[in-house]
Protein backbone atom coordinates (compact mmCIF):
# COMPACT_ATOMS: atom_id res chain seq x y z
CA UNK A 1 0.00 0.00 0.00
CA UNK A 2 1.06 3.52 -0.69
CA UNK A 3 2.29 5.56 2.29
CA UNK A 4 1.37 9.21 2.47
CA UNK A 5 1.40 11.93 5.10
CA UNK A 6 -1.73 13.87 6.01
CA UNK A 7 -1.28 17.59 5.57
CA UNK A 8 -4.71 19.08 6.25
CA UNK A 9 -7.91 17.90 7.87
CA UNK A 10 -10.68 19.03 5.53
CA UNK A 11 -14.01 17.90 6.93
CA UNK A 12 -15.62 15.24 9.09
CA UNK A 13 -18.01 12.73 7.51
CA UNK A 14 -20.68 13.22 10.13
CA UNK A 15 -22.81 10.25 9.18
CA UNK A 16 -19.97 7.84 9.85
CA UNK A 17 -20.13 6.17 13.25
CA UNK A 18 -16.35 5.85 13.45
CA UNK A 19 -15.75 9.60 12.92
CA UNK A 20 -14.05 9.26 9.56
CA UNK A 21 -12.74 12.49 8.07
CA UNK A 22 -11.60 13.78 4.72
CA UNK A 23 -7.89 14.57 4.75
CA UNK A 24 -5.55 16.03 2.19
CA UNK A 25 -2.16 14.34 1.85
CA UNK A 26 1.32 15.29 0.73
CA UNK A 27 0.83 13.57 -2.64
CA UNK A 28 -2.05 16.01 -3.33
CA UNK A 29 -4.48 13.11 -2.94
CA UNK A 30 -7.67 13.38 -0.89
CA UNK A 31 -8.49 10.50 1.43
CA UNK A 32 -11.31 9.35 3.63
CA UNK A 33 -9.43 8.49 6.79
CA UNK A 34 -10.36 5.90 9.40
CA UNK A 35 -8.52 6.94 12.54
CA UNK A 36 -6.75 4.53 14.82
CA UNK A 37 -7.80 6.65 17.79
CA UNK A 38 -11.55 6.30 17.12
CA UNK A 39 -13.66 4.29 19.58
CA UNK A 40 -13.42 0.90 17.86
CA UNK A 41 -9.64 0.93 18.05
CA UNK A 42 -7.55 -0.45 15.26
CA UNK A 43 -9.62 -3.61 14.62
CA UNK A 44 -11.81 -1.67 12.19
CA UNK A 45 -8.69 -0.60 10.28
CA UNK A 46 -7.43 -4.17 10.06
CA UNK A 47 -10.80 -5.24 8.68
CA UNK A 48 -10.76 -2.43 6.11
CA UNK A 49 -7.42 -3.61 4.76
CA UNK A 50 -8.03 -7.35 4.85
CA UNK A 51 -11.60 -7.34 3.53
CA UNK A 52 -11.09 -4.45 1.10
CA UNK A 53 -8.01 -6.02 -0.48
CA UNK A 54 -9.59 -9.46 -0.50
CA UNK A 55 -12.60 -7.96 -2.25
CA UNK A 56 -10.39 -6.34 -4.85
CA UNK A 57 -8.89 -9.74 -5.64
CA UNK A 58 -12.38 -11.18 -6.01
CA UNK A 59 -13.14 -8.64 -8.73
CA UNK A 60 -14.95 -6.10 -6.55
CA UNK A 61 -14.26 -2.38 -6.95
CA UNK A 62 -12.81 -0.93 -3.76
CA UNK A 63 -11.27 2.58 -3.62
CA UNK A 64 -7.50 2.46 -3.38
CA UNK A 65 -6.23 2.14 0.19
CA UNK A 66 -3.20 3.84 1.68
CA UNK A 67 -1.44 4.10 5.01
CA UNK A 68 -1.73 7.74 6.03
CA UNK A 69 0.46 9.31 8.67
CA UNK A 70 -1.05 11.77 11.12
CA UNK A 71 1.25 14.34 12.67
CA UNK A 72 -0.24 15.71 15.92
CA UNK A 73 0.87 19.10 14.64
CA UNK A 74 -2.14 18.97 12.27
CA UNK A 75 -4.40 18.80 15.35
CA UNK A 76 -3.19 22.20 16.52
CA UNK A 77 -4.72 23.89 13.51
CA UNK A 78 -8.07 22.21 14.13
CA UNK A 79 -10.66 24.37 15.90
CA UNK A 80 -13.11 21.54 16.66
CA UNK A 81 -12.33 20.03 20.06
CA UNK A 82 -13.59 16.53 19.19
CA UNK A 83 -11.56 16.40 15.97
CA UNK A 84 -8.52 17.72 17.78
CA UNK A 85 -8.70 14.89 20.31
CA UNK A 86 -9.26 12.32 17.59
CA UNK A 87 -6.19 13.48 15.67
CA UNK A 88 -4.05 13.49 18.82
CA UNK A 89 -5.15 9.98 19.70
CA UNK A 90 -4.31 8.90 16.14
CA UNK A 91 -0.73 10.15 15.86
CA UNK A 92 1.14 7.75 13.59
CA UNK A 93 -0.33 5.36 11.04
CA UNK A 94 -4.00 5.40 10.01
CA UNK A 95 -6.02 4.06 7.12
CA UNK A 96 -6.73 6.21 4.08
CA UNK A 97 -9.17 5.40 1.32
CA UNK A 98 -9.13 7.28 -1.95
CA UNK A 99 -11.95 9.84 -1.80
CA UNK A 100 -14.36 9.39 -4.71
CA UNK A 101 -15.53 12.92 -5.54
CA UNK A 102 -19.14 13.20 -6.65
CA UNK A 103 -20.01 9.64 -5.67
CA UNK A 104 -23.50 8.98 -4.33
CA UNK A 105 -24.72 6.34 -1.94
CA UNK A 106 -26.38 3.30 -3.51
CA UNK A 107 -30.10 3.21 -2.74
CA UNK A 108 -31.45 0.75 -5.32
CA UNK A 109 -33.48 3.52 -7.00
CA UNK A 110 -33.04 4.05 -10.75
CA UNK A 111 -29.81 2.11 -11.11
CA UNK A 112 -28.80 -1.42 -10.20
CA UNK A 113 -25.48 -3.20 -10.58
CA UNK A 114 -25.25 -6.37 -12.68
CA UNK A 115 -26.50 -9.25 -10.44
CA UNK A 116 -23.23 -11.16 -10.83
CA UNK A 117 -21.36 -8.20 -9.41
CA UNK A 118 -23.82 -7.98 -6.53
CA UNK A 119 -23.27 -11.68 -5.83
CA UNK A 120 -19.51 -11.22 -5.52
CA UNK A 121 -20.04 -8.58 -2.87
CA UNK A 122 -22.60 -10.76 -1.10
CA UNK A 123 -20.14 -13.66 -1.09
CA UNK A 124 -17.36 -11.48 0.35
CA UNK A 125 -19.71 -10.26 3.08
CA UNK A 126 -20.83 -13.79 3.94
CA UNK A 127 -17.23 -15.03 4.06
CA UNK A 128 -16.01 -12.19 6.25
CA UNK A 129 -19.17 -11.80 8.38
CA UNK A 130 -19.81 -8.26 7.25
CA UNK A 131 -23.29 -7.52 8.55
CA UNK A 132 -22.88 -3.85 7.74
CA UNK A 133 -24.37 -3.68 4.24
CA UNK A 134 -28.09 -3.27 4.86
CA UNK A 135 -30.73 -0.97 3.39
CA UNK A 136 -30.34 1.40 6.31
CA UNK A 137 -26.57 1.45 5.82
CA UNK A 138 -25.64 0.14 2.35
CA UNK A 139 -21.96 1.13 2.42
CA UNK A 140 -21.92 1.06 -1.38
CA UNK A 141 -21.16 4.06 -3.56
CA UNK A 142 -22.04 4.72 -7.18
CA UNK A 143 -19.26 6.51 -8.96
CA UNK A 144 -19.06 6.93 -12.72
CA UNK A 145 -22.04 4.58 -13.03
CA UNK A 146 -20.26 1.77 -11.29
CA UNK A 147 -20.60 0.22 -7.87
CA UNK A 148 -17.84 0.64 -5.28
CA UNK A 149 -17.71 -1.19 -1.97
CA UNK A 150 -16.64 0.80 1.11
CA UNK A 151 -16.63 0.46 4.87
CA UNK A 152 -15.52 -3.03 5.83
CA UNK A 153 -14.65 -1.99 9.36
CA UNK A 154 -17.35 -4.11 11.00
CA UNK A 155 -16.34 -7.34 9.22
CA UNK A 156 -14.11 -10.10 10.64
CA UNK A 157 -16.19 -10.34 13.80
CA UNK A 158 -13.88 -13.03 15.16
CA UNK A 159 -11.17 -10.49 15.85
CA UNK A 160 -13.17 -8.97 18.71
CA UNK A 161 -13.42 -12.15 20.78
CA UNK A 162 -11.30 -14.86 19.09
CA UNK A 163 -13.80 -17.74 19.35
CA UNK A 164 -12.60 -21.22 18.35
CA UNK A 165 -11.67 -21.37 14.68
CA UNK A 166 -14.12 -24.22 14.04
CA UNK A 167 -17.04 -22.36 15.64
CA UNK A 168 -16.38 -19.25 13.62
CA UNK A 169 -15.84 -21.16 10.39
CA UNK A 170 -19.31 -22.72 10.66
CA UNK A 171 -21.24 -19.72 12.00
CA UNK A 172 -23.97 -18.18 9.89
CA UNK A 173 -24.62 -14.50 10.13
CA UNK A 174 -28.01 -13.08 9.29
CA UNK A 175 -27.71 -11.49 5.88
CA UNK A 176 -31.45 -11.38 5.22
CA UNK A 177 -31.34 -7.58 5.38
CA UNK A 178 -28.39 -7.39 2.98
CA UNK A 179 -28.91 -4.58 0.50
CA UNK A 180 -28.05 -6.82 -2.47
CA UNK A 181 -29.89 -10.00 -1.40
CA UNK A 182 -32.80 -9.53 -3.85
CA UNK A 183 -30.46 -9.03 -6.79
CA UNK A 184 -28.39 -12.06 -5.83
CA UNK A 185 -31.49 -14.21 -5.56
CA UNK A 186 -32.31 -13.52 -9.21
CA UNK A 187 -29.28 -15.52 -10.33
CA UNK A 188 -30.67 -18.86 -9.17
CA UNK A 189 -28.93 -21.72 -7.32
CA UNK A 190 -26.92 -23.12 -10.25
CA UNK A 191 -25.25 -19.82 -11.09
CA UNK A 192 -24.63 -19.12 -7.43
CA UNK A 193 -23.03 -22.52 -6.86
CA UNK A 194 -20.73 -21.89 -9.81
CA UNK A 195 -19.78 -18.46 -8.52
CA UNK A 196 -19.12 -19.90 -5.07
CA UNK A 197 -16.72 -22.43 -6.57
CA UNK A 198 -15.00 -19.74 -8.64
CA UNK A 199 -14.51 -17.35 -5.73
CA UNK A 200 -13.53 -20.05 -3.23
CA UNK A 201 -10.79 -21.18 -5.63
CA UNK A 202 -9.30 -17.67 -5.58
CA UNK A 203 -9.11 -17.55 -1.78
CA UNK A 204 -6.02 -19.69 -1.24
CA UNK A 205 -3.67 -19.62 1.74
CA UNK A 206 -1.13 -17.77 -0.45
CA UNK A 207 -3.65 -15.11 -1.41
CA UNK A 208 -4.74 -14.63 2.20
CA UNK A 209 -1.12 -14.31 3.31
CA UNK A 210 -0.51 -11.71 0.66
CA UNK A 211 -3.56 -9.71 1.76
CA UNK A 212 -2.85 -9.95 5.49
CA UNK A 213 0.76 -8.91 4.87
CA UNK A 214 -0.56 -5.51 3.74
CA UNK A 215 -1.79 -4.70 7.26
CA UNK A 216 0.70 -2.42 9.01
CA UNK A 217 2.15 -3.75 12.29
CA UNK A 218 0.86 -0.65 14.08
CA UNK A 219 -2.77 -1.70 13.45
CA UNK A 220 -2.15 -5.20 14.80
CA UNK A 221 -0.29 -4.36 17.98
CA UNK A 222 -3.03 -2.01 19.18
CA UNK A 223 -5.95 -4.45 18.89
CA UNK A 224 -8.21 -4.12 21.94
CA UNK A 225 -9.00 -7.83 21.92
CA UNK A 226 -5.40 -8.98 22.26
CA UNK A 227 -4.05 -8.50 25.73
CA UNK A 228 -0.98 -10.70 25.64
CA UNK A 229 2.19 -9.44 23.95
CA UNK A 230 1.04 -9.22 20.41
CA UNK A 231 3.49 -10.47 17.83
CA UNK A 232 2.33 -9.12 14.44
CA UNK A 233 3.56 -12.24 12.60
CA UNK A 234 1.56 -14.50 14.93
CA UNK A 235 -1.52 -12.31 14.56
CA UNK A 236 -1.25 -12.37 10.77
CA UNK A 237 -1.03 -16.15 10.91
CA UNK A 238 -4.25 -16.18 12.96
CA UNK A 239 -6.17 -14.04 10.46
CA UNK A 240 -5.14 -16.38 7.65
CA UNK A 241 -6.14 -19.41 9.72
CA UNK A 242 -9.62 -18.05 10.51
CA UNK A 243 -10.36 -16.97 6.96
CA UNK A 244 -9.02 -20.13 5.40
CA UNK A 245 -11.01 -22.34 7.79
CA UNK A 246 -14.18 -20.52 6.82
CA UNK A 247 -13.54 -20.86 3.13
CA UNK A 248 -12.57 -24.55 3.51
CA UNK A 249 -15.60 -25.43 5.63
CA UNK A 250 -19.00 -26.56 4.37
CA UNK A 251 -19.83 -22.96 3.43
CA UNK A 252 -23.21 -23.18 5.08
CA UNK A 253 -22.80 -19.42 5.32
CA UNK A 254 -23.26 -19.18 1.55
CA UNK A 255 -26.99 -19.70 1.35
CA UNK A 256 -27.27 -20.94 -2.23
CA UNK A 257 -30.51 -22.75 -1.43
CA UNK A 258 -31.90 -20.46 1.22
CA UNK A 259 -31.87 -17.32 -0.86
CA UNK A 260 -32.98 -19.01 -4.07
N1 LIG B 1 -14.00 6.68 -0.55
C2 LIG B 1 -15.05 7.49 -0.36
N3 LIG B 1 -15.36 8.45 -1.25
C4 LIG B 1 -16.42 9.27 -1.04
N5 LIG B 1 -17.22 9.21 0.04
C6 LIG B 1 -16.98 8.28 0.97
C7 LIG B 1 -15.87 7.36 0.82
N8 LIG B 1 -15.85 6.55 1.90
C9 LIG B 1 -16.87 6.93 2.67
N10 LIG B 1 -17.56 7.97 2.13
C11 LIG B 1 -18.74 8.63 2.70
O12 LIG B 1 -18.60 8.70 4.10
C13 LIG B 1 -19.62 7.97 4.78
C14 LIG B 1 -19.04 7.28 6.01
O15 LIG B 1 -18.03 6.37 5.61
P16 LIG B 1 -17.98 4.92 6.21
O17 LIG B 1 -19.28 4.25 5.98
O18 LIG B 1 -16.78 4.26 5.67
O19 LIG B 1 -17.77 5.27 7.74
P20 LIG B 1 -18.24 4.56 9.08
O21 LIG B 1 -17.87 5.41 10.22
O22 LIG B 1 -17.72 3.18 9.11
O23 LIG B 1 -19.77 4.57 8.90
P24 LIG B 1 -20.94 3.77 9.57
O25 LIG B 1 -20.38 2.94 10.67
O26 LIG B 1 -21.87 4.85 10.00
O27 LIG B 1 -21.45 2.98 8.42
C28 LIG B 1 -20.14 7.01 3.71
O29 LIG B 1 -21.46 6.64 3.96
C30 LIG B 1 -20.00 7.84 2.45
O31 LIG B 1 -21.08 8.73 2.31
MG1 LIG C 1 -20.64 3.25 6.74
Give residue 260's pLDDT.
40
Taking only the tens place, the pLDDT of each residue in 150-187 is 999 999 999 999 999 999 999 988 888 999 999 998 89
| Percentage of the chain exceeding pLDDT 90 | 78
Q: What is the DSSP string of 226-246?
A: --SPPPHHHHHHHHHHHHHHH
Q: Which of 13, 14, 37, 104 to mutate to test the pocket of ligand 1 (most atoms within 8 A of CB)?
A: 13
Q: What's the average model confidence in pLDDT over 192-200?
A: 94
pLDDT at 77: 86
More confident residue, 251 or 121: 121
Span from the CA of 234 to the centroid of ligand 1 (angstroms):
31
The number of the ligand 1 atom at minimal distance from the alpha carbon of 97 is 1
Please tell me the residue having the least CA distance from ligand 1 atom 23.
16
Pocket of ligand 1 (CB under 6 A): 13, 15-18, 20, 32, 63, 97-100, 103, 105, 137, 139, 141, 150-151, 153
Among the ranges 11-20, 176-185, 205-214, which has the highest mean pLDDT value? 205-214
252 in Cβ contact with 173 (< 8 Å): no
Q: Tell me the C-alpha distance between 81 and 30, whole Å.
A: 22
Q: Could you tell me if 103 and 143 are in contact, meaning their C-beta atoms sit under 8 angstroms apart?
A: yes
**What phi and psi values does residue 63 have, to the nearest 5 degrees?**
-55, 150
The pLDDT assigned to 254 comes to 81
Which residue among 10, 12, 14, 20 has the greatest number of ligand 1 atoms within 8 angstroms of its CB, and so is best to mutate?
20
Tell me the domain boundaries of the chain: 2-98, 104-141+157-248
Q: What is the overall mean pLDDT for the chain? A: 92
Q: What is the pLDDT of residue 18?
A: 79
Using the predicted structure, report yes or no on whether residue 84 has a pLDDT greater than 60.
yes
3-state class percentages of the chain: helix first, strand second, coil last, to nearest 5: 40, 20, 45
Q: How far apart are CA 60 and CA 106, in angstroms?
A: 15
Residue 138, helix vs strand vs coil: coil
196-214-64-161 Cα dihedral, nearest 10 degrees: 60
Rounded distance from Cα 190 to ligand 2 centre (Å): 32
Q: What atom in ligand 1 is closest to the CA of residue 105?
A: 31
Q: Taking 60 as the threshold, does the pLDDT of residue 259 lie above it?
A: no
C-alpha distances in angstroms, 58 versus 10, 204, 220?
32, 12, 24
Amino acid sequence: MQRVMGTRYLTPLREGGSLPGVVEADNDGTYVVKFRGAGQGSAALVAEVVVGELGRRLGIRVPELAVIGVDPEVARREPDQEVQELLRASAGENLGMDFLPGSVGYDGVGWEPPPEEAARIYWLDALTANVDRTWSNPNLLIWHRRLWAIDHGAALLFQHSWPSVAAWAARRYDLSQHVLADLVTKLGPAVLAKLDAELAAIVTAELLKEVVALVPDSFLVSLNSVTEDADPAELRRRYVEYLLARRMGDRGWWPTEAIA
